[in-house]
Amino acid sequence: MLTPIALLALVPLVNAKSKTISVDFSSYDPTNHTVEEFLANYSLIINNYTVDSSGDPFSRTYTASNVDISDGYLTLKVSGGTQNGSSVPSAAIQTNDTNIRYGTFKTTAIASNVSGVCHGFFTYENDCQESDIEILTSHFTTGNARINPGLQLTNQATNCNSSDNTRDAIPYPQDPTTAEHEYTLEWSKKASKFYFDDALIATMDTNVPSAPSSFLWNSWSSGNPNWTSGPPTQDSILRISKIDINYKTSSAQHSANTVFSFVALATLLSWASTFL
Ligand SMILES: *[C@@H]1O[C@H](CO)[C@@H](O)[C@H](O)[C@H]1NC(C)=O
Ligand SMILES: *[C@@H]1O[C@H](CO)[C@@H](O)[C@H](O)[C@H]1NC(C)=O
Ligand SMILES: *[C@@H]1O[C@H](CO)[C@@H](O)[C@H](O)[C@H]1NC(C)=O
Ligand SMILES: *[C@@H]1O[C@H](CO)[C@@H](O)[C@H](O)[C@H]1NC(C)=O
Ligand SMILES: *[C@@H]1O[C@H](CO)[C@@H](O)[C@H](O)[C@H]1NC(C)=O
Ligand SMILES: *[C@@H]1O[C@H](CO)[C@@H](O)[C@H](O)[C@H]1NC(C)=O
Ligand SMILES: *[C@@H]1O[C@H](CO)[C@@H](O)[C@H](O)[C@H]1NC(C)=O
Ligand SMILES: *[C@@H]1O[C@H](CO)[C@@H](O)[C@H](O)[C@H]1NC(C)=O
């Protein structure tokens, strides 16, 4: 007979579901399908909401019409020329799955050469459960008092005090604006590992997020010189040719059900041992 402890060991097997999403944007044929429909085929959705400025010079609005597919690339555009007092038209897509826990996320992209935006490829549950790859188009090779130039890699502080973030800026091994490069986040329980093309460039084993999350791709500006600078004076466009992600999901609903059925089973077993 299975003991309750042995049954408990089965719980992770019941919960984990593995998924692979592999998108080559050159396969998009616009004849009979919208970009939204194409993305939906890969369980990806377009974001459409405003993020408050919360102390930054500008708010930003993720705008469906700033997401497109052209010439084989998913294009995420931050529109140029936002006036003071307006929200910066920005672009984002994300996984429809919001319960991802651990996986490998590869993005092949060409960064914009127009300064004043942040391109992000990242896991997100909230501002304290987030692991990021970020490209700052104002800081490829020059920094400022607050920013080291290079590819920005961060595990946001799980205590929600951003001074405690685990972060690094890695000099770009190649110019990210002139050719496609592959940016990989390998998120496990132990660490966030970051790769540029096939080279491991950083491993962070502190502040590793543990909450079920979404994965997002975005480009935005809030005009804060401490991060994005900008907003851009002309359209700034991130071009993504491929997305290859492989992850496991962990459903809170399922785990609640599993715990419930575990309790029910244990009750049944103890009833059985009393009467049989
Ligand atoms: C688009 O749809 C039309 C009408 O259903 C069909 O005749 C045509 O072959 C389709 N084109 C492509 C490229 O799938
Ligand atoms: C979605 O995938 C199916 C099966 O591969 C294909 O027939 C269909 O055209 C795709 N739809 C879009 C919008 O790409
Ligand atoms: C997203 O998930 C919801 C809930 O499971 C489902 O109804 C919807 O069709 C999904 N959308 C896409 C684009 O995968
Ligand atoms: C985005 O939101 C705006 C304003 O709420 C709405 O008019 C528009 O239809 C939405 N677009 C999509 C693609 O959901
Ligand atoms: C916008 O505000 C900034 C900071 O207050 C100021 O330097 C700039 O001149 C303003 N630009 C316009 C177009 O009003
Ligand atoms: C910036 O990128 C665009 C689009 O790829 C290109 O046409 C342009 O020549 C680039 N400008 C500079 C200054 O490198
Ligand atoms: C945040 O962390 C910094 C550095 O560890 C510390 O000096 C500061 O007091 C912390 N702030 C809060 C609100 O706990
Ligand atoms: C930038 O950072 C400095 C130092 O922490 C801070 O004093 C300043 O207010 C920040 N600027 C903005 C626009 O948030």
CA 64 – ligand 3 centroid, Å: 17
Which pLDDT does position 15 carry in this prediction? 61
> What are the extents of the domains in the chain?
1-16+253-276, 19-249
Instruction: Say how many residues make up the chain.
Output: 276
Which pLDDT does position 252 carry in this prediction? 54
CA distance 115 to 138: 5
CA 233 – ligand 1 centroid, Å: 40
Helix boundaries (H) for the chain = 4-9, 11-15, 35-40, 252-275
Residue, of 17 and 129, whose pLDDT is higher: 129
Q: Tell me which residue of 66, 63, 61, 71 sits closest to 30, measured CA to CA.
A: 71
Mean pLDDT of 256-268: 43
Task: Kindly report the backbone phi and psi dihedral angles of residue 220, in degrees, each rounded to the nearest multiple of 5, phi listed first.
Answer: -160, 170
Q: What topology does CATH give the domain 19-249? A: Jelly Rolls (2.60.120)
The pTM of the full predicted model, rounded to 2 decimals, is 0.87
Which pLDDT band holds residue 113 (cuts at 50, 70, 90)? very high
Mutation pick for ligand 5 pocket among 56, 84, 221 (CB with most ligand atoms within 8 Å)? 84
pLDDT at residue 275 tops 90: no
pLDDT digits (tens, 9 = 90+) for 144-162: 999 999 999 999 999 999 9
* Strands 88-95, 60-62: pairing kind: parallel
Mean pLDDT of 111-134: 98
pLDDT at residue 9 tops 50: no
Contact assessment for residue 234 and residue 138, using Cβ atoms and an 8 Å cutoff: no
Q: Is the CB of 84 under 6 A from ligand 5?
A: yes
Residue nearest to ligand 7 atom 10, measured at CA: 161
Task: Kindly report the backbone phi and psi dihedral angles of residue 139, in degrees, each rounded to the nearest multiple of 5, phi listed first.
Answer: -135, 50
Which pLDDT does position 235 carry in this prediction? 98
pLDDT digits (tens, 9 = 90+) for 186-219: 999 999 999 999 999 999 999 999 999 999 999 9
Task: Kindly report the backbone phi and psi dihedral angles of residue 162, in degrees, each rounded to the nearest multiple of 5, phi listed first.
Answer: -65, -15
| Token code pair at residue 191 | 């660490």
Which pLDDT does position 259 carry in this prediction? 41
Q: Is the CB of 37 under 6 A from ligand 2?
A: yes
Please state, rounded to an integer, the average pLDDT across all residues of the chain: 90
For the CA of 57, the nearest ligand: 8
Q: Which atom of ligand 1 is nearest to the CA of 31?
A: 13
CA 116 – ligand 5 centroid, Å: 15
Q: Which atom of ligand 8 is nearest to the CA of 55?
A: 14
pLDDT at residue 256 tops 60: no
pLDDT at residue 4 tops 70: no
Which pLDDT does position 16 carry in this prediction? 74
Which pLDDT does position 175 carry in this prediction? 98
Residue nearest to ligand 5 atom 12, measured at CA: 84
Residue at token pair 């459960």: 129
Contact assessment for residue 177 and residue 112, using Cβ atoms and an 8 Å cutoff: yes
% of the chain exceeding 90 in pLDDT: 84
End-to-end CA distance of the chain, in Å?
Answer: 13
Q: Is the CB of 40 under 6 A from ligand 3?
A: yes
pLDDT at residue 98 tops 50: yes
Which pLDDT does position 267 carry in this prediction? 47
CA distance 134 to 143: 14
Q: Tell me which residue of 113, 190, 109, 202 sits closest to 153, measured CA to CA.
A: 202
CA distance 199 to 217: 21
Mean pLDDT of 229-245: 98
Which pLDDT does position 250 carry in this prediction? 87
- Please write down the HEC assignment for all residues of 64-113: HHHEEEECCEEEEEECCCCCCCCCEEEEEEEECCCCEEEEEEEEEEECCC
CA 43 – ligand 3 centroid, Å: 7
Contact assessment for residue 247 and residue 100, using Cβ atoms and an 8 Å cutoff: yes
Q: Which long-range contacts (CB under 8 A, 24 or more apart) does 45-54 make?
A: 45/93, 45/94, 45/95, 45/96, 46/92, 46/93, 47/91, 47/92, 47/93, 47/94, 47/216, 47/218, 50/87, 51/220, 51/222, 53/222
Bond from prior residue into 4 cis (ω within 30 degrees of 0)? no
CA 36 – ligand 2 centroid, Å: 12
